[in-house]
Amino acid sequence: MTTHLAALPLSNLDTGAVAGLAGGVPGLIADLRSDHAGETGAVAIYLGILAVSRHPRIRRFAREHLATEREHLMRLSTLLPAGQRSALLPLWRVAGWLTGALPALIGPRAVYPTIDAVETFVDHHYEEQIRKLPAHGPSGALRALLKACQADEVHHRDEARAAGMAASGPLTKAWQWLVGSGSALAVKAARRV
């Protein structure tokens, strides 16, 4: 059974707990920096959609998912002191907003494939991190948090796929490739800066 973040109680995870885990999990701080940056971008994606779209179904979709992404961002913010967060957060906000707003100008046939592409990338990104963390012991709570975030993202992807009815024209495929590649580059940059 998959637990979504809303069902996961707030844990004792904080910056101190993460600092204690960092020595035993290579790249943990960089992973969490990229997660925080990604959730910052995700919030901006939905704000961009809401700024542009007047389509009632798209607006409802964006409002619901925005609430989830804000919860993810709030939880991840408690894990990293401000000095360990990506210095590129302003860039991620702008890029995220444009990633939401530009497809919203076109409408549902562009918005849903965009969310599908983003969330497909995020699913794999979280999975790589989850595999590095033991299920039990001190890292168990962090693993549970990441699994819950992943479950929410997979739900967003699946909802976008169902609503978008698997749009698959060449322009859509090219846009999805661009969004996925951009997400991968953003993670690489956020892990370092």
Residue 131 counted as domain residue: yes
Residue 1 counted as domain residue: no
Indicate whether this model's pTM tops 0.85: yes
Neighbours of 123 (CB within 10 A): 16
The yes-or-no verdict on residue 8 having pLDDT over 50 is: no
pLDDT score for 157: 95
Report, as an integer, the average pLDDT of 55-83.
94
Task: State which residues form the domain around 147.
Answer: 23-192
Q: How far apart are CA 70 and CA 120, in angstroms?
A: 19
Residue 8 counted as domain residue: no
Report, as an integer, the average pLDDT of 35-59.
97
Residue 12 counted as domain residue: no
Percent above pLDDT 70 for the chain = 87
Residue 119 counted as domain residue: yes
Residue 5 counted as domain residue: no
First-last CA distance in the chain: 36
- Token pair, residue 102, equals 């530009």
pLDDT score for 136: 79
pLDDT tens digits for 157-172? Answer: 999 999 876 667 899 9
Instruction: Find the DSSP H helices in 28-107.
Output: 28-52, 56-77, 89-106
Counted domains in the chain: 1
Dihedral (Cα; 36, 42, 43, 49), 10-degree rounding: 170
pLDDT tens digits for 58-70? Answer: 999 999 999 999 9
Residue 164 counted as domain residue: yes
Q: What is the CATH number of the domain that holds 129?
A: 1.20.910.10
Residue 102 counted as domain residue: yes
Q: How far apart are CA 17 and CA 102, in angstroms?
A: 39
pLDDT tens digits for 88-105? Answer: 999 999 999 999 999 999
Which has the closest alpha carbon to 193: 36, 52, 7, 30?
Answer: 30
Q: Phi first, then psi: what are they for 63, rounded to 5°?
A: -65, -45
